[in-house]
Structure 1
Amino acid sequence: MTLTLMIQGTTSDAGKSVTVAGLCRVFKRRGLKVAPFKPQNMALNSAVTPEGGEIGRAQAVQAQACGLLPHTDMNPVLLKPNSDTGAQVIIHGKALSNMDAQDYHNYKKRAMSAVLTSHQRLCEQYDVVVVEGAGSPAEINLRANDIANMGFAEAVDCPVVIVADIDRGGVFAHLVGTLELLSATEQARVKGFIINRFRGDIALLQPGLDWLEERTGKKVLGVVPYIHDLHLEAEDAINKQQCVSEQAIKIAVPVLSRISNHTDVDVLRLHPQVDLCFIGKGEAIPPCDLIIIPGSKSTRRDLDYLRSNNWDSDIQKHLRYGGKVLGICGGFQMLGKAVHDPQGIEGDAGSSNGLGFLNMETTLGSEKTLRQVSGKLIASDAKISGYEIHAGISSGPALDRPFANLHTHNDGARSDDGQIIGSYLHGLFDESETRNELLRWAGIAKVDELDYTSIIESNIDRLADCLEAHLDISELLKT
């Protein structure tokens, strides 16, 4: 009989994704066949599965912790916000439509069917399914037709563990308050609590733990210490931690209002020769060697956002002084002369002037390109691999100078003067040969090697070691 264990949190970013990833590796080490599962995910960081479906980035990392390839059943419902009130709804890896909040709320009963179908398929293949909730189960306005938290747990009758981040402060209020706002049946299925990111002497916390167990009748299943310098690709939040050396080149990444797949630059943040900074609203892009314009879920809106921050002027000045610019996916589309959205795929129908640095135009359409790709760079024959997630098709003379030759098609464009590169490929820095070539292009004479896969694996193992040491794993595995 498959054990389904659900990890819910008192808040967003309480540590659900990380806890699930760590537990997946712990259970795998114990010889169990384990898979991650998130019924509903709202995130702009996504991954493409081998079968060409789209899921949340966090579930791809959790799959890696299990030693599995990612699959659409691991995240059957993905919501990608394209405005403050609407999102693209993706079911079993394929875009269904754009819906506003009320429309999606009415659609949830049908979405639950997809969720339960995927969960059942996983249960038929694995010993343990570790489920990640979304946000908080105590969001009263979202309780009706819930598929992300207790609504799912009640439907499949699984135990729940609630995680809270003590580093935020108010951890006991978070846990007691969350539990109090649940129904009697929901409270009954809570096995206990995990307190995350603790710093200090555990003895000073013990009176609070004793009080919490007495007050709630629930076990504290462990207190996880703050793990310094832990690197796992984020579900959505931008990690601004930097690793800088004196020999570093400077890379600036403007944070667009609908930035997507900013995990593309994670490996650069870890590189000892790179000083990478994210540029926020109202900040000027500082003098640097390379500007990376990242992906966007709403390219035309983010062109307006980019201009409202005067980043277009900053980029023009940067190019005049000989700097380099790389546009990825939506950022690549922005480099052209225009972006057309005649069907209103990403917002209101219409067209927007691009930055005009590349002689091409992009038209958005209803068919989304989702595929894993590989090939070689045109300029150096270096290996490149990555994945495409985009609704647009670009055309124009700029594409006659492609960036990469993939096995099925050419990708991207290079400017005549060599200062500008555009590519549709997410994850292009993960491949060491391409990363080294791009860093040389940006200004590093001799690039140090960096094994990004080993870094991720070692961080997952370090996380699992920590959970093994500080959680009651045997209690978690009890049905």
Structure 2
Amino acid sequence: MSARVLMVQGCTSDAGKSALVTALCRWARRRGLSVAPFKPQNMALNAAVTVDGGEIGRAQAVQAQACGLEPHTDFNPVLLKPSSDTGAQVIVHGQPVGNMDAVRYHGYKPRAFEAVLASHARLAARHDAVIVEGAGSPAEINLREHDIANMGYAEAVDCPVLLVADIDRGGVFAHLVGTLALLSDSERARVAGFVINRFRGDIALLQPGLDWLARHTGKPVLGVLPFLQGLHLEAEDGLPGAAASGAAGVPARLQVVVPALPRISNHTDLDALRAHPQVELHVVGPGRAPPPADLIVLPGSKAVRADLAWLRAQGWEPLIARHLRHGGKLLGICGGLQMLGRAVHDPLGIEGPAGSSAGLGWLALETTLEAGKQLRNARGRLQLPGADATVPVHGYEIHCGRSEGPALDRPLLRFDDGRDDGARCADGQVLGCYLHGLFDAPPALDALLRWAGLREVQPLDIHALREASIERLADAVEAHLDTAALSRLLGLEALCEA
């Protein structure tokens, strides 16, 4: 039997599609369904490594967690990783197929759609239900030709669609009615209902508008989800705010500063720091003066040489030197590790024009970007100076750089498969590694915060926080959406009768 398929599309970007799909996945799993997440095409610089050795958007990895599944490339068959304002690396079934500008990719879409439909068929054959997330808005009429991310997919597989809108932005009725008006007749017919997201206030004051919306469109409002504060879900792409602070009244806060690189990638590495009650995290954008810090973190980057030039133009190089002279700590992750070395070479033009750039020079290593991308999940032990060498760490690697140099003789990590990763300077003040998710294991987070200067560290488990957030989302579906209608859309009655 082929799976029931339900798609969530949004009136705008960031309307709540990812969160709603995550919520529906966990809700359906609670009802006993074997359910899988799916996003035909994603554009994101936050990626996860899959069990089959590819990469997908991190939002689909969170949705897989909601389903009780390991991330798989079929959950996100086409991933676009922007490398400039007009171009992106195109990844199909977890592997890069090339860099394309928007015009070239538009011509490539029919081939990409073949990959989308192949993944859809495999998931539909293996599961009771597939919950699908659209991308952006289905009302982008200039992108309708060869659409594979929204109604083009829904029409091809003949699935119903829920349309979600964010009331916190304002104009929610205009968003819903306007989106519906810009759809074709067949597309409009497959919209099974509306979900309004991020509502604050008295629902009685909203009810007249809901009644009007149902009368005017002939479509039911399946529910109004409240604005849920304090969710700990990995962001699909955009940075979740310029700065975040630890809990009020908590003593001995560690000041952590991160440059908001133009092509920052996998900034979900910072989630555990953002959530920690003893950490005040400052993500510093262009033109802003960084505050004094105990720790500076150089994050991942999709365009290391370009972001390194941006760092210099923004005055970070002398700032980092002054920070280190005053005893501050410095950590580079993936692209950040490469920046900390003496040079970054890109002879093939992997991330931009071919050439070389001088690094910041704080670690004795050089990096050469290569065509083949290294993708793996990894577990091991931290090798922090003066710390217990049995501290466990886990995460994933996504990089096309190969680093060499004497700094690697003092690795930061030793993996269970016998490999070493990263580097430490002689005095232990500067660290770097390729492993994303470095702060996710609670013992590793504790050890790294102690290294950075925090004496008594409160425990925090970011995975448990994410799991609790998924449960809150599913609870919200149960409390605020028309679960009888959702059950009909997913064929729960038929499954129960069988």
Deviations 1:278-326 (A, max 9, x none): 1111112211100000000000010011111111221111111110000
Alignment of 1:422 onto 2:437: no
Q: 1:243 — aligned with what?
A: 246
AA paired with 2:463?
T
Determine the C-alpha separation between the residues in 2 that align with 1:295 and 1:281: 17
8 A contact 2:80–2:88 mirrored in 1: yes
Bigger shift: 15-24 or 396-405? 396-405
Q: Which residues of 2 match residues 58-457 of structure 1 at below 5 A?
A: 58-240=59-241, 241-244=244-247, 245-379=250-384, 380-381=388-389, 382-406=391-415, 407-457=417-467
Determine the C-alpha separation between the residues in 1 that align with 2:174 and 2:408: 57
The 3-state SS of whatever aligns with 1:162 is strand
CA drift of 1:452 comes to: 2.1
Alignment of 1:469 onto 2:479: yes
Determine the C-alpha separation between the residues in 2 that align with 1:234 and 1:186: 29
Determine the C-alpha separation between the residues in 2 that align with 1:283 and 1:194: 38
Determine the C-alpha separation between the residues in 2 that align with 1:46 and 1:209: 37
8 A contact 2:441–2:461 mirrored in 1: no
AA paired with 2:133?
E
The RMSD of aligned alpha carbons is 0.9
Determine the C-alpha separation between the residues in 2 that align with 1:315 and 1:385: 28
Deviations 1:452-471 (A, max 9, x none): 22211111101110111101
CA drift of 1:256 comes to: 0.2
Q: 2:47 — aligned with what?
A: 46
- TM-score, normalising length from structure 2? 0.95
Determine the C-alpha separation between the residues in 1 that align with 2:463 and 2:106: 39
8 A contact 1:360–1:394 mirrored in 2: yes
AA paired with 2:163?
I
CA drift of 1:246 comes to: 2.9
Determine the C-alpha separation between the residues in 2 that align with 1:229 and 1:20: 18
Deviations 1:408-445 (A, max 9, x none): 31100001121100010000100112111110000011
The 3-state SS of whatever aligns with 2:320 is helix
CA drift of 1:476 comes to: 2.1
Determine the C-alpha separation between the residues in 2 that align with 1:444 and 1:397: 29
CA drift of 1:397 comes to: 1.0
Determine the C-alpha separation between the residues in 2 that align with 1:122 and 1:473: 24
Deviations 1:324-360 (A, max 9, x none): 0000000100000110100000011111111111111
The 3-state SS of whatever aligns with 1:173 is helix
CA drift of 1:51 comes to: 2.0
Determine the C-alpha separation between the residues in 2 that align with 1:278 and 1:309: 14
8 A contact 1:336–1:358 mirrored in 2: yes
CA drift of 1:474 comes to: 2.0
Determine the C-alpha separation between the residues in 2 that align with 1:314 and 1:140: 46
8 A contact 1:399–1:413 mirrored in 2: yes
8 A contact 1:49–1:71 mirrored in 2: yes
8 A contact 1:250–1:274 mirrored in 2: yes
Determine the C-alpha separation between the residues in 2 that align with 1:47 and 1:217: 40
Determine the C-alpha separation between the residues in 2 that align with 1:73 and 1:408: 30
8 A contact 1:242–1:269 mirrored in 2: yes
8 A contact 2:271–2:462 mirrored in 1: no
Deviations 1:205-255 (A, max 9, x none): 111111111111111010001111112111012223433333211101111
Determine the C-alpha separation between the residues in 2 that align with 1:247 and 1:452: 20
AA paired with 1:450?
L
Determine the C-alpha separation between the residues in 2 that align with 1:313 and 1:156: 56
% identical aligned pairs: 64
The 3-state SS of whatever aligns with 1:205 is helix
Deviations 1:8-45 (A, max 9, x none): 00010000000000000000000000000000000000
Determine the C-alpha separation between the residues in 2 that align with 1:51 and 1:284: 43
Deviations 1:388-408 (A, max 9, x none): 000000001111111111123
AA paired with 2:41?
Q
The 3-state SS of whatever aligns with 1:83 is coil
Determine the C-alpha separation between the residues in 2 that align with 1:429 and 1:268: 8
Bigger shift: 239-248 or 60-69? 239-248
Name structure 2 gaps, 5 residues minimum.
490-498
CA drift of 1:140 comes to: 1.2
Q: 1:32 — aligned with what?
A: 33
AA paired with 2:313?
S
8 A contact 1:284–1:314 mirrored in 2: no
AA paired with 1:452?
I
Determine the C-alpha separation between the residues in 1 that align with 2:352 and 2:71: 30
Determine the C-alpha separation between the residues in 2 that align with 1:345 and 1:451: 36
The 3-state SS of whatever aligns with 1:358 is coil
Deviations 1:141-169 (A, max 9, x none): 11110000000000000000010000000
Determine the C-alpha separation between the residues in 2 that align with 1:65 and 1:346: 34
Determine the C-alpha separation between the residues in 1 that align with 2:286 and 2:473: 33
Determine the C-alpha separation between the residues in 2 that align with 1:133 and 1:477: 20
8 A contact 2:146–2:152 mirrored in 1: yes
Determine the C-alpha separation between the residues in 1 that align with 2:318 and 2:13: 36
8 A contact 1:179–1:187 mirrored in 2: yes
